[in-house]
Structure 1
Amino acid sequence: MSELYDIKFKNINEILMAWNPLSVEGPALQDEYISMIPSILKAGDDYSKLENYFEKELTGRYGVEYNAVDLQDVIKRILRI
């Protein structure tokens, strides 16, 4: 993998850990969102794709409610990477 990919991967993981929509505590938080990152990177700079991805994952897969404003902020932060 490229150095740029590694940097983006790390930065996205930090954003997701800070947001922590699954409310994970302890050492597991470090690895909890890693499986999401390849799909996030694949969505690229497409806000709608990212929004749809998070909606599908969080509500469909995990059954988690989230704050839409927080999600918008997270997507904007990811797009700035």
Structure 2
Amino acid sequence: MSGAQRRFDLSASAALAPLLDHYQAKVTGAEICKGGPLNLTSTDDAVLLVEPDDRYEAFTVAGKLPSTSRRFFFVAVPGGGLACW
């Protein structure tokens, strides 16, 4: 995405093709804010920002912390906000 900011309409699947360049990219940084936005940075310095949606769960993030058995699960709830388990 070469430093330029772009918006993607998830209802237009053909327009999502540029995101395939980042499929299976290694995430080097992640930030989830209480209001619901998700910000991911990858090894190629690409940044993916997922903003909350008024009607849908914009994202789900699940995983395990390194060096522990503790798991986490975050869901961006419709209208903004975050549910955590």
Per the TM superposition, whether the score is higher than 0.5 is no
Larger helix proportion, structure 1 or 2? 1
Which structure has more relative contact order (CA 8 Å, sep 6+)? It is 1
